[in-house]
Amino acid sequence: METTIEHKVPALPTWKVIWDMLLYRPWLWFIDLISVTLIRFCWQIAPALIIKAFFDMVTGEAQLTFGVWAIVAFLAATWIGRVIASYGFYYADVPIFADMNTLLRKNLLRYILKRPGASQLPDSPGESVSRFKTDVQEIPLFVILVNDIMVGLAIIIYAIALMAKISPSVTVMALIPVVLVGIVANMATKRIELYRRTSRQAAGKVTGFIGEFFGAVQAVKIAAAEKGVIQHFHKLNDERQKLTVREKLFDEVLSSIYRNTSTLGTGVILVLVGQSMRTGNFTLGDFSLFVYLLQSMGDLTTFAGMLAARYKQLGVSVQRMYHLMENAPLNALVEHSKIDLNGDLPEVTYDTKTASDSLRSFSANHVTFHYPESSHGIEDVSLQIERGSLTVITGRVGSGKTTLLRVLLGLLPHESGEIRWNENILTSPGDYLVPPRCAYTAQVPRLFSNTLRNNILLGMTKSDDDIYKAAKLAVMDRDLEQLDDDLETMVGARGVKLSGGQVQRTAAARMFIREPELIVFDDLSSALDVETEQQLWERIFEHNDATCLVVSHRRPLLRRADHIIVMKDGKVESEGTLDSLLESSPEMRELWKLEEN
């Protein structure tokens, strides 16, 4: 089976990501460190010393300095230490997980939203959700596990010192299996990384397919394709299951090797110390100490081996998250900022229109853009839009109309040229050309699975009168009368419960309620009948100062236009009024004939 490996993007080293996250909540991390130290000592060192003392006392090999009650007190102290450590874990680990997960997701989302608006994510929605959910959780978990490995290393060193004090030769021989396991763990890291990557990719495909299926239920039913869709889902899920089982099986095989280390060590001790125990040079207490410490060291070796595997897997997760934030700075993922999970939710605020937002003219001079690794795009485009005018961009399919709109709005980054609002050059058009200055309705608008009201407002605070006014302007008033719950009608995922025309007009109402200075439509006529579109434009131009930039091929709108730009092969083929273009432009005459047919 061939496996697709994602193209690697620049990313911080895994250890640097862990270190930066550790510094985000250092005091909580320190409390966890103290708790780990306490719990490890109480579980792995104290019992070994107690057991040795007990057996030495029972066999008469050594006398207790403080008596039997010292053992009882020591046992009570270890129990209290475990309780205190458990409270320390609860106090530190819960906020570490909550805060770090939130910070990482916040940074991911922030830089995703900074992407050019017309640029799709580099991966499917399912893959992206997987990175927000599963990959993010790996980092705070590893930050906590760092304490375990540090304390575990200290315990191993201390245990070796205790064992070597009793018998250096036996200690060396008993540790050989531990060294061998370390070598095996190192050899397995590449395989671990590969299995983790392919397993996550398969899970992302399943998640993405589920999302696409729920958004296309009507299309599946119309095509009577339920059986084929379910079969494809089973195929994807079987592939995910196979890859997941392969990853888990490999992890379990490694875990089994790690767990059996202590058993091998115990066998080595029995072979080496049998004669010494008969002669009294190696006591039963010494043997119990060795066995218990080797068991603890075996557990720590198992943990260290799995942690090494997890570190490799974490590297995959970090790379996947940076892949989602294409072209983000290296510190983007771990950039520190305030996280408040207990306060009130932040209010949604919208800019209030000021005098400086008023539009007098909007222009582009010699603007060029090409899609990555392609010759397609637009080249050397200039235009001038005056307040109160209607400018229509027209052309054949693939001529660059939508690309031009997206470049002008900053949804795609222009390579050269300049874009101006009034006399001001816009260095970041995508950040500036938003309500109340500019609003845009795409050819295929996106609605959310919520009420019609919330899809229009998107967090704004407006009265019902304002909503009805915007809906009427978008020729949505009659539709509201026919809908069962008026503004409270649930539109379904992506507006699936509405017709295509209703979806476009809902998006138009969303735009009108923001009262923008510049109204931008991309082929609004694609889902509207001629009569509805004519009503919409009549209502828009009842406001004499409406300024519109529109992609369209409809004759009524071309007749109404103050200025027409004809695109061909990514360039402005001609521009002017309709009458002048029908005389001077062969391309315009051909488009006019095509619209007639």
**pLDDT beyond 80 at 272:** no
The tens digit of pLDDT for each residue in 552-576 reads: 888 888 888 999 999 999 999 999 9
**Nearest 5°: phi and psi at 167?**
-160, 100
**Nearest 5°: phi and psi at 390?**
-115, 115
- The reported pLDDT for the residue numbered 550 is 93
- The reported pLDDT for the residue numbered 195 is 78
Please name which of 323, 365, 330 lies closest in space to residue 201, comparing C-alpha atoms. 323
- The reported pLDDT for the residue numbered 543 is 66
The tens digit of pLDDT for each residue in 383-408 reads: 999 999 999 999 998 899 999 999 99
Whole-angstrom distance, CA of residue 279 vs CA of residue 410: 86
Level-2 CATH architecture, domain 359-596:
3-Layer(aba) Sandwich (3.40)
The DSSP bridge partners found for residue 369 are: 378
* Mean pLDDT of all residues in 417-431: 91
* Mean pLDDT of all residues in 13-30: 90
Q: Yes or no: say if 534 and 344 are a contact pair by the CB < 8 Å rule.
A: no
Packing angle, helices 261-279 and 284-324, rounded to 10? 160
Structural class in CATH, domain 14-324:
mainly alpha
The tens digit of pLDDT for each residue in 158-188 reads: 777 777 777 777 777 766 766 676 666 666 6
The tens digit of pLDDT for each residue in 343-384 reads: 777 777 777 888 888 999 999 999 999 988 788 899 999 999
Residue 206 three-state SS: helix
Per-residue CA distances from 458 to 28, 45, 451, 511, 591 (Å): 38, 59, 10, 11, 38
Provide the token pair at 447.
């609605």
Whole-angstrom distance, CA of residue 363 vs CA of residue 61: 96
The DSSP bridge partners found for residue 395 are: 567
Rounded to the nearest angstrom, the gap between the alpha carbon of residue 386 and the centroid of all alpha carbons in its chain is 41
Whole-angstrom distance, CA of residue 434 vs CA of residue 24: 34
pTM value is 0.67
Q: What residue spans in the chain does CATH classification 3.40.50.300 cover?
A: 359-596
* Mean pLDDT of all residues in 444-451: 86
- The reported pLDDT for the residue numbered 6 is 47
H or E stretch including 419? strand 416-421
**pLDDT beyond 60 at 340:** yes
